[in-house]
């Protein structure tokens, strides 16, 4: 129920966090010879995580990390995109040392990802605040 209430933003936060790590790694290795820039195909991975199952819920439920002894136990959600394919980026310019990182583009992608992460946080915060106001009958 809460998963449906928070919508896609809960999964988006997890994916954005993973993408932040990948982009930070690219920036950190901008001067490493033969380093290949990587990225997460965010839209595709998010679409896969929201593919509804028979119950209409996200298909990101864990099956092995927690033992549930009763069918009424709440299932926990996995980190969205934990098995997401990380793709290598095609370079726009050839590099003599074989590095495919364009530091300026990576920094722009990092900044955009950070802004979108913050937007999802703000959305979730407003939804949770609204839920809390409803529970308090304000």
Per-residue burial over 24-52, b if 16 or more Cβ lie within 10 Å, else e, is: eebeebeeeeebebbbbebeebbebbbee
The pLDDT, as a whole number, for residue 65 is 42
24-36 average pLDDT score: 95
Integer Rg of the chain from CA: 19
Residue 57 pLDDT greater than 50, yes or no: no
Looking at the whole model, is its pTM more than 0.85? no
CA dist list (Å): 95 to 92, 105, 121: 9, 15, 38
Choice between 60 and 66, residue whose per-residue pLDDT is larger: 66
Q: Quote the tokens at residue 87.
A: 């793709």
């Amino acid at each position: 129920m809460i998963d449906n209430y928070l919508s896609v933003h809960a999964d988006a936060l997890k994916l954005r966090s993973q993408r932040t790590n990948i982009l930070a790694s690219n920036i950190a290795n901008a001067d490493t010879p033969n380093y290949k820039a990587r990225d997460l195909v965010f839209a595709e991975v998010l679409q896969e995580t929201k593919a509804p199952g028979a119950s209409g819920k996200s298909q990101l439920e864990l099956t092995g990390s927690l033992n549930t002894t009763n069918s009424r136990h709440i299932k926990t959600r996995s980190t969205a995109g934990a098995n997401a394919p990380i793709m290598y980026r095609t370079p726009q310019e050839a590099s003599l040392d074989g590095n495919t990182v364009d530091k300026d583009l990576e920094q722009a992608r990092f900044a955009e990802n950070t802004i979108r992460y913050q937007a999802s946080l703000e959305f979730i915060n407003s939804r949770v605040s609204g839920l809390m106001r409803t529970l308090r009958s304000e």
